[in-house]
Chain A
Amino acid sequence: EAQVTQNPRYLITVTGKKLTVTCSQNMNHEYMSWYRQDPGLGLRQIYYSMNVEVTDKGDVPEGYKVSRKEKRNFPLILESPSPNQTSLYFCASTGQGAYEQYFGPGTRLTVT
């Protein structure tokens, strides 16, 4: 089954404790992206990757890092999480020349 998976689905952590949210897709898509969803703001792009080793900032990249060492994986790293990063995070992917993005199930992160 074609899908985007994220882990963990739920995470509660404390300020400053490094964490990684994993994202994996099995569709051989070149393009992957991370979004955060906050009430009243919709979804905003954090980072995106056009292909392996090619990443760039989205609209709200501060406090986040990403890497793309393999085509299928695109982890989101929070080196020192803060309470304002409490949010619902979505990973998405799409193929070259296509524009429809496939979304993962989301990761709800709470930073206390």
Chain B
Amino acid sequence: AQSVTQPDIHITVSEGASLELRCNYSYGATPYLFWYVQSPGQGLQLLLKYFSGDTLVQGIKGFEAEFKRSQSSFNLRKPSVHWSDAAEYFCAVVSPQAYKLSFGAGTTVTVRA
């Protein structure tokens, strides 16, 4: 069965500093991977996705993620964080057969001035 692990529950970063959120997945075949963001009191917004091809994918809001098959990882990065990036971030993997999204537990990002 597929699963996703986000090792960091909470990260605090200074505004303007870089951010990296870790995601490890467990899946037998080629995974379809996603990063979603949930701002306080809001729904889920898709940041980026990886299905195949170039392992470095660009998303919205200046985010990017790198797929590393050898490490079973799909880490999210942003070079310079803005205060509006304070949110909870979820990594997810989908099962092509069942159209089921399996989510990690999430990482909460706090941005300090």
Contact = CB atoms under 8 A, between A and B. Distances in A.
B105 A40 contact: yes
B106 A90 contact: no
The interface size bin for chain A is: 20 to 34
Nearest to A101: B101
A37 B102 CA distance: 12
Contacts of B103: 35, 42-44
Nearest to B96: A99
Interface string A46-65: 00101000000010000000
Contact of B46 (A90, A100, A106): A100
B43 A42 contact: no
A45 B4 CA distance: 14
Contacts of B11: none
Interface string A3-45: 0000000000000000000000000000101010000111111
A45 B43 contact: no
Contacts of A94: 99
A94 B46 CA distance: 13
Nearest to B49: A100
Contacts, number: 52
B100 A33 contact: yes
Given A41-B105, A99-B94, A100-B34, A106 B99 contact: no
Interface string B74-113: 0000000000000000101010101111111110000000
B42 to A, nearest CB: 8
A64 B42 CA distance: 24
19 contacts: A31-B99, A33-B99, A42-B103, A42-B104, A42-B105, A43-B101, A44-B103, A45-B101, A45-B102, A48-B99, A50-B99, A58-B100, A99-B49, A99-B96, A100-B34, A101-B94, A101-B101, A103-B43, A106-B43
A12 to B, nearest CB: 17
A104 interface: yes
A100 B59 CA distance: 14
